Structure 1
Amino acid sequence: MPLAAQALCTSDGVAQPGALLERFVSADCADCWRDRATPEPAAGSFAIDWVVPGTRGDDAPLAAVALDEATERLATLGRSAPQGSDAVFGRRQGAAVGLRLAQGDAFNDYIGTSIELKSAGRGPWQAWLLLVEQLPAGTEGSPVERHLVRNVFRPDWSQPAKGHADGRAMQIHDGAKPERLRLVAVLADSRGRIRAISRTACSG
């Protein structure tokens, strides 16, 4: 049975935000996670959170949730890894491109996901599919609600002949609560402009 037929959470009917706020915290800086000056998303925008590997390796206070892909994301945005924290604001350009996401139930520490570009148009496209954990304000002292990136899949959509739909079982890392997991996807065109920001919502 295809994932779409048994999906618990999809992006269907979820309006795309007009902008994305990406907050980056060094794994070395526990105080940055608790910083009351943490920027919050404006109306019509959405925030996600990355923990960047620090210089202290596994001894860093936030090492358990740090991802190498956070460093890759910073490079894509033209930024260096922060010693403390950083934030990047990106506005979606033009009419929203249709980008459908779906996720199934968690099973054996994995969750089935899919991403599909509904109207490909001109490529190549760069897509980031993010498995995020919704964390309410107060979690580990955070003053704001967070959508912490827990896993990343980057489909290869550089060649139109390969199609623009992918499915992937994404691992649920230690400590993440499956019921809090959602998908967020960011789609950029060949010039690096954001053309879609999609996210799942769950029914029931």
Structure 2
Amino acid sequence: MKNIALTLASLSLALAHAPQALAQTHCSSDGAPKPVALFERFISADCEACWGDAATPAPSAKAGAVVLDWIVPSAAGDDAPLSAAATTDALPRLQALGRKPPTSTDVHISTVDVDARGRLRVAHGVAFNDYVGVGINFAPSAAKPQRKVAAAPFAFHLLLVEAIAAGTDGTVVPRHVVRNAFEGEWLPAQRQARTPGKPWAWMETRSMRIPEGARAERLHLVGWVQDASGQIVAAAQSVCR
């Protein structure tokens, strides 16, 4: 059954990339504004009041930032009020940022080097049997950028995010809850072969599991790429059209 799910998830991803795909299955970052920052909120699974806090920190509407809500597991485990949405992926993310698990809400803002001209694309297909096919593609610009993108290796991050509107599910502010995460590294030897008129590129396609309780129709992708120094050189998020 797992192999069937993975095969169909891959088929869904192919549809997401195909121009002739139905509009409701075409979810990608094509044409979407390029994020200039990541605004990450880390919420302790113990802090039920944090979820419904009207004073939750948020970027301005003009900031051009991608907002992410990480629900951080606590020692209480399944007994924590927000445990249903907690993800263990939050812990290595906090460690990478040099931060400790919060007792309430903690915020970290990362800027995207907009002068490092490279094209990042994320896309996903339709959900099937709790899985969805996803992809991330990065191509450093062949043109003369204001600041040239550094050579590989690059670290990439791909997140499955559930958008929850204000006034629903107990939150009075919009939420963008990280439901699943995948990260990896691209080396020079992993570049895709160049075809006429196209630059070298790196690509990863796979299926991602949709956790229990997440609503598939509210999911989208957020991805970013970091250079060897940890600077984010490109970010993207998908929109379903």
CA distance in 2, matches of 1:160, 1:148: 33
State yes or no: 1:22 paired with 2:31: no
Q: Deviations over 1:159-179 (max 9, x none)?
A: 221232111111111111111
**2:136·2:158 contact (CA, 8 Å) conserved in 1?**
yes
State yes or no: 1:9 paired with 2:27: yes
Counterpart of 2:95, as a letter, is A
CA root-mean-square deviation: 1.6
State yes or no: 1:162 paired with 2:190: yes
Quote how far apart the aligned CAs of 1:55 are: 1.5
1:1-204 superposed matches below 5 A: 3=14, 4-5=17-18, 6=21, 8-42=26-60, 43=62, 44-95=64-115, 96-119=117-140, 121=149, 122-157=151-186, 159-163=187-191, 164-203=202-241
**1:38·1:143 contact (CA, 8 Å) conserved in 2?**
no
Q: Deviations over 1:27-58 (max 9, x none)?
A: 11111111222111222222111001111011
SS in 1 for 2:118: coil
Largest Rg, 1 or 2: 2
CA distance in 1, matches of 2:83, 2:216: 20
Quote how far apart the aligned CAs of 1:190 are: 1.0
TM-score (norm 2): 0.79
TM-score (norm 1): 0.93
Q: Deviations over 1:136-177 (max 9, x none)?
A: 0123322211111001111332x2212321111111111111
Quote how far apart the aligned CAs of 1:134 are: 0.7
Deviant stretches of 4+, over 3 Å: none
CA distance in 2, matches of 1:71, 1:50: 9
CA distance in 2, matches of 1:114, 1:48: 19
CA distance in 1, matches of 2:108, 2:189: 33
CA distance in 2, matches of 1:35, 1:186: 28
Q: In terms of mean alpha carbon deviation, does 78-87 or 92-101 score higher? A: 92-101
Hey, what does 2:5 align to over in structure 1?
none
SS in 1 for 2:89: helix
